[in-house]
Amino acid sequence: MGEVAELLEKAIKELKEEGLNPDLLLVGPKFLEYSAPVLREHASTLKIYKIDELGFDAVVADSSFLGQIRRASRRISVEPIFKEKEMWEELQKLDV
């Protein structure tokens, strides 16, 4: 979970450094499933919406500028983290 928190915090920080106010988080179902505890921590500062098409990804954005300027959002993904976790689980099964 720490990796997801780091990804999210990095995206938020980058947007703030560009003078934006990240207030929106669009999440795919797999991202939501994997990172629900982390998202609860940000529920007071971000409006969170589930978008099925995003899958393992999420988009952090400033809703005031979304669609107007490209740098108003950052896309992050938990798929590499999820795949690595699956790989380690499979390796642990082989050790049994």
State the pLDDT at residue 95.
Answer: 67
Using DSSP bridges, classify how beta strands 24-27 and 57-61 pair: parallel, antiparallel or unpaired.
antiparallel
Order of strands across the sheet that contains 24-27: 47-50, 24-27, 57-61, 73-77
First to last CA, the chain: 26
Give the residue numbers spanning the domain of 45: 2-95
pLDDT at 96 over 60: no
State the pLDDT at residue 20.
Answer: 95
Give me the CATH number covering residue 74.
3.30.2320.10
Q: What is the mean pLDDT of residues 67-89?
A: 80
pLDDT tens across 20-52, in order? Answer: 999 999 999 999 988 888 888 888 889 999 999
Q: What is the mean pLDDT of residues 70-83?
A: 84
State the pLDDT at residue 80.
Answer: 75
User: Domains in the chain: how many in total?
Assistant: 1
